[in-house]
Amino acid sequence: MSNLDDSIGKILIDLQKEDPDTFKKIMKKAQSDHPELFENSIDTENAEIDEYNRKIDEYNNSIDKD
């Protein structure tokens, strides 16, 4: 299944480069048909980004105090 996922990913990347309008339509359709595939990963990624930004802010504040 991993090879299939890789192939689909490559096809989507090529489509995004060659025909961005069609890519947007496909992604919008996929999100409306299967929102569960997008919600968890986005929430997880956003949480990781927020945590990283928080650590950067703490570090920057500690430098500013010194």
What's the pLDDT score for residue 1? 57
Query: pLDDT tier at 66 (50, 70, 90 boundaries)?
Result: low
Question: 10-30 pLDDT, tens per residue?
Answer: 999 999 999 999 999 999 999
Secondary structure string (H, E, C) spanning the chain: CHHHHHHHHHHHHHHHHHCHHHHHHHHHHHHHHCCHHHHHHHHHHHHHHHHHHHHHHHHHHHHHHC
At 19, which amino acid appears?
Answer: D
Write the CB contacts of 22 (distance below 8 Å, at least 6 apart in sequence): 15
Instruction: Work out the mean pLDDT of the chain and round it to a whole number.
Output: 87
List the end-to-end C-alpha distance of the chain, in Å, as a whole number. Answer: 53
Q: What is the value of pTM for the model shown? A: 0.52
